[in-house]
Chain A
């Protein structure tokens, strides 16, 4: 790690639901993570290991029981425009068009309408939905809705992009296309990204670093660098070094 402060730092994070005593359910224990600017980090783990809890704490949607989250060195405890959250699914406002969904965060920040529209139109083009500005979410497929979801999070130009299994509800083929496009978008935007997934190949394909979360309560079991060159083609998933990495992480999760 460099000497400069990390973009995002998690120190001694613990979370338990319920009060102290017998009914307390520990979810996360002593999670420590350090992520530098522009890094793409994927967090993998079986369901129930606390991945979603962790990313919700990072966004400030729920408070940690102990420990802290720092963005650019400053502790955060509530949601803020320095973080953009891409939800799993069905989080678009059904009464708003694609354009109006994308401007949502900017509207909340009370940015001038011309700026909102200009930024949104650029992002809608970036995520490949040009021409669908006036469509409503119910007119879009699942993949398209997640593109809007991503554009909405990017619109507020956050320091850190938090993605909570954004492609989990998509079919296999759409998911692969979305992975490729997310990589392309990231190449252009160079945001710091934390991406939660339970699919190992998705994690390796996208990430600079894969964190394996496991145990009960969950903690970071392994921190694995992905030494694959970018940009990555989807074919890379069939390469021996890729599959070996999948194998290695798979074993870590199994233990």
Chain B
């Protein structure tokens, strides 16, 4: 006989579309108002172009920089520093985090260091890295790596450690080997945590690029900001900040999309600390 579920039905989580549209509309209005205020203050309040620049001047500076091709050179340099440093932090951070989560011994030995270094302002290491690695690419990669690895590592570790006990019991009941428990239960359950860690690391990595380049560099968007600041070019300084902001925003969007893709069951996990 055919078993038909009569009382059970699929529950689809859905927010009221009107509330969402409303929120989007308000966000849009808020941004527009902010830009208008920026323009107004730049035009009529802080008229000195050393102190401030109106939005339109910043856009103009951006357009000029794009037209001359100068921007792409700096953007490329910053992007390379960021990618290598942050990519390395993800790979090493996840690997070490997994080891710490899996093996108590590793955790016990590393945890004090991780706790100390997580809460310390590691960008302060920049002068040291400059001495160690010179003014070129390597010192920036090193600072980006250093500042962004800890949130990734810590979140991966706690993701592995907080695997639901019920699910570990399921693994045992179905006679999973250690390796099967790890790959089929612990890794997927840690995935949302890993993505959260990467998101937290992302902001720090961008800060690392800026600080590294501001401190001493020959190219990069941070370098652009530093030189513009020295020549009292407020529009270009703000343009550099705007570029970093947009880059951060774009990367965050990609990551929250990745979170939704890899962990659709846990859309609520992506709230940042």
Contacts and interface: CB of A to CB of B under 8 A. Distances in A.
Given A91-B170, A95-B189, A129 B5 contact: yes
Nearest to B164: A90
Contact of B265 (A108, A127, A128, A137): A137
A144 to B, nearest CB: 5
Interface stretch (B79-87, B171-179, B197-205): B171-179
Given A136-B265, A140-B8, A173-B7, A108 B173 contact: no
A156 interface: yes
A59 interface: yes
Contacts of B13: 138-139
Contacts of B189: 95
B166 A141 contact: no
A126 B3 contact: yes
A91 B176 contact: no
Contacts of B6: 177
Interface in B172-197: 172-176, 180, 184-185, 188-189, 191
Contact of B175 (A81, A94, A136): A81
Contact of A80 (B9, B10, B175): B175
Contacts of A105: 174
Contacts of A104: 170, 174, 184
Interface residues of A, number: 40
Given A141-B11, A184-B3, A95 B173 contact: no
A95 B10 contact: no
A55 B272 CA distance: 42
B26 to A, nearest CB: 29
Interface in B11-34: 11-13
Contacts of A91: 166-167, 169-170
B266 interface: yes
Contact of A108 (B166, B167, B180): B180
Contacts of B4: 128
A206 B166 CA distance: 26
Nearest to A105: B174
A61 B169 contact: yes
Interface of A: 59, 61, 78-81, 85, 87, 90-91, 93-95, 104-105, 107-108, 125-129, 132, 135-141, 143-144, 147, 156, 173-174, 177, 181, 184-185
Interface of B: 1-13, 164, 166-167, 169-170, 172-176, 180, 184-185, 188-189, 191, 263-266
20 contacts: A59-B173, A61-B169, A80-B175, A108-B175, A108-B176, A128-B4, A132-B10, A138-B13, A138-B265, A139-B11, A139-B12, A140-B10, A141-B10, A143-B7, A144-B5, A147-B5, A147-B8, A173-B7, A174-B8, A181-B3
